């Protein structure tokens, strides 16, 4: 649906990339659950493998169900092409893969999801890549961080967890000056609230797990290419501008033009890294995109109402929602995210760490999970979970300090969510803190708090799940049989180990 009439977002989120199945007439995109595809003849097979013809070879590379999703997300973002993969983290590595090399670096915002900070701080070093973290509100600092080895600049349009709004255009201008692409993680905003390519971004990445799917069923990732970057303008990106030995000297940019990055992501990235999205996941995400605008409108409306209520509550020190007039990012919302500031933000709870833990445990409608962007409202204490691997300084810089709880506001009745927060905040302010260490524990040193029976000592090097019913350790299973009656009527969230 890229040719012909110009369609609105609500139409494209349903129809882009999808056509009735030519064999059966099925209107919904089929799940092509297959690993391989029959070639017409030997010449057809050779042409596909030599990138002389576009088609399906093997589902690690391409799949018809996934292809529909790729076209849909690219259309919604205003890009020329997209590559889907197995997760948001996979999308980040795949986005960097054609750009980087040993000794090269990226400049990244300090306000990122904790897993991304860890990936960029530690994991990419195994490839010989480096990352410098900078406060993207300090544009001079961003310029100063760029050097001759910089190959990309990376940030989140709406930052996880605090919901901070990035000035995409300002950072894009710096990237243009440096001659490197700007990569924007648009997971939290979605293309309904923000289209980073229109603000100068070169590449857009998504964890499709979140709002695009919207129902917490499958993981996935996507990289969208704007098609606007000149990969041959200098010698910084040889993977795209220079001959590729695996394809007999083919030059991706020279051969595929604006689609060079997308073709490289499939022909090299998926071929060699194998971070493939399965067709079942693509199907669920396709169904999710069909209601994206409707869900995001409700997410934003609920988030705004709840944030306004929290801001006036004496039990809360701070609410970071950018849609509040008190936010330093309020004026930026109209420019970057004109349809709303998203539905993810944090609250600083009076009473610090222990109050946060009690709040999370007292909530009833909010689900305590390591996810966001679901139709269900979600909560997590980032400092002890998603941002746990970071230093205290990194946590604070990312907006995930010890006194902060992250809220992902769903599409339920907002009055019910407010009532749930109200009762949980009351309990957090009144109940004494439980002296429970919630880190992993050696079995021989801990006991089940509900039964007071010491578990049999096992190999002290073995770590087990908090819930003994879920553990596969034979010794612990035997112990669990003696404890079954004690656990029978205990809610799952209370099944934890307490120190002797």
Return the H-helix or E-strand segment holding 499: strand 497-499
- What distance in Å separates the CA atoms of residue 79 and residue 95, rounded to the nearest whole number? 14
In this prediction the pTM is 0.84
Per-residue confidence (pLDDT) for residue 431, from 0 to 100: 56
Radius of gyration of the chain (CA): 24
Tell me which residue has tokens 């990237």.
Answer: 175
- What distance in Å separates the CA atoms of residue 41 and residue 90, rounded to the nearest whole number? 34
Cβ atoms of 102 and 128 closer than 8 Å? yes
Render the burial of 178-215: b for 16+ CB within 10 Å, e for the rest: bebbbbbbbbbbbbbbbbbbebbbbbbbbbbbbbbbbe
Per-residue confidence (pLDDT) for residue 478, from 0 to 100: 37
- What distance in Å separates the CA atoms of residue 129 and residue 151, rounded to the nearest whole number? 10
- What distance in Å separates the CA atoms of residue 500 and residue 489, rounded to the nearest whole number? 23
- The string of DSSP letters for 9-26 reads HHHHHHHTT----TTT--
Helix, strand or coil, per DSSP, at residue 379: strand
- Within 13 Å, how many C-alpha atoms sit on residue 79's CB side? 30
Per-residue confidence (pLDDT) for residue 4, from 0 to 100: 63
Query: Phi and psi at residue 81, in whole multiples of 5°?
Result: -165, 165
Can you list the positions of beta strands (E) in 8-103? 81-85
Per-residue confidence (pLDDT) for residue 460, from 0 to 100: 36
Asked whether the bond before 345 is cis by omega within 30 degrees of 0, the reply is no
Return the H-helix or E-strand segment holding 168: helix 168-178
Tokens of 55: 């088609």
Cβ atoms of 36 and 59 closer than 8 Å? yes
CA nearest to 267, candidates 34, 449, 83, 24: 83
Cβ atoms of 476 and 455 closer than 8 Å? yes
Tell me which residue has tokens 């990035």.
Answer: 166
Q: Per residue of the chain (500 residues), give pLDDT as tens.
A: 445 678 999 999 999 999 998 889 999 999 999 999 999 999 999 999 999 999 999 999 999 999 999 999 999 999 999 999 999 999 999 999 999 999 999 999 999 998 899 999 999 999 999 999 999 999 999 999 999 999 999 999 999 989 999 999 999 999 999 999 999 999 999 999 999 999 999 999 999 999 999 999 999 999 999 999 999 999 999 999 999 999 999 999 999 999 999 999 999 999 999 999 999 999 999 999 999 999 999 999 999 999 999 999 999 999 999 999 999 999 999 999 999 999 999 999 999 888 999 999 999 999 999 999 999 999 998 878 766 777 777 777 777 788 899 999 999 999 999 999 999 999 988 655 444 444 433 333 333 333 333 333 333 333 333 333 333 333 333 333 333 333 333 333 333 323 32
- What distance in Å separates the CA atoms of residue 60 and residue 163, rounded to the nearest whole number? 35
Helix, strand or coil, per DSSP, at residue 480: helix
């Amino acid at each position: 649906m890229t040719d012909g009439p110009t369609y609105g977002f609500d139409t494209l989120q349903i129809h882009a990339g999808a056509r009735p199945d030519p064999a059966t007439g099925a209107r919904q995109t089929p799940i092509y659950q297959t690993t391989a595809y029959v070639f017409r003849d030997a010449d057809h097979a050779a042409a596909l493998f030599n990138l002389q013809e576009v088609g399906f070879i093997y589902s690690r590379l391409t799949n018809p169900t996934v292809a529909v999703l790729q076209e849909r997300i690219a259309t919604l973002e205003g890009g020329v092409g997209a590559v889907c993969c197995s997760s948001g983290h996979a999308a980040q590595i795949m986005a960097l893969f054609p750009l980087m090399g040993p000794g090269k670096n990226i400049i990244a915002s300090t306000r990122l999801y904790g897993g991304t900070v860890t990936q960029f701080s530690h994991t990419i070093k195994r490839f010989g890549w480096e990352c410098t973290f900078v406060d993207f509100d300090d544009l001079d600092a961003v310029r100063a961080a760029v050097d001759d080895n910089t190959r990309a600049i990376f940030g989140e349009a709406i930052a996880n967890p605090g919901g901070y709004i990035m000035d995409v255009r300002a950072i894009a201008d710096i990237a243009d000056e440096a001659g490197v692409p700007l990569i924007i993680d648009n997971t939290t905003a979605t293309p309904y609230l923000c289209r980073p390519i229109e603000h100068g971004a070169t590449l857009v990445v998504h964890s499709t797990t979140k709002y695009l799917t919207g129902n917490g069923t499958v993981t996935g990732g996507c990289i969208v290419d704007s098609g606007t970057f000149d990969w041959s303008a200098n010698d910084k990106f040889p993977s795209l501008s220079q001959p590729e030995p695996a394809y007999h000297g083919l030059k991706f940019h020279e051969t595929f033009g604006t689609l060079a990055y997308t073709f490289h992501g499939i022909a090299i990235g998926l071929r060699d890294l194998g971070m493939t999205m399965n067709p079942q996941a693509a199907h669920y995400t396709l169904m999710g995109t069909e209601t994206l605008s409707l869900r995001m409108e409700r997410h934003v409306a609920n988030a705004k109402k709840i944030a306004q209520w929290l801001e006036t509550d004496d039990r809360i020190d701070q609410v970071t929602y950018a849609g509040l007039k008190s936010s330093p990012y309020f004026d930026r919302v109209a420019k970057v995210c004109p349809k709303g500031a998203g539905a993810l933000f944090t609250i600083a709870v009076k009473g610090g760490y222990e109050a946060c833990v009690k709040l999370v445990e007292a909530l009833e409608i909010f689900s305590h999970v390591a996810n966001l962007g679901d139709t269900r409202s979600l909560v997590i204490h980032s400092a002890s979970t998603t941002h746990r691997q970071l230093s205290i300084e990194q946590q604070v810089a990312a907006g995930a300090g010890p006194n902060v709880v992250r809220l992902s506001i769903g599409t339920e009745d907002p009055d019910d969510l407010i009532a749930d927060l109200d009762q949980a905040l009351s309990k957090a302010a009144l109940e004494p803190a439980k002296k429970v260490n919630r880190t992993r524990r050696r079995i021989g040193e801990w006991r089940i708090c509900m039964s007071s029976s010491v578990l049999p000592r096992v190999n002290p090097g073995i770590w087990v799940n908090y819930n003994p019913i879920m553990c596969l350790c034979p010794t612990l299973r035997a112990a669990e049989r003696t404890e079954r009656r004690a656990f029978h009527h205990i809610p799952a969230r209370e099944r934890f180990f307490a120190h002797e």
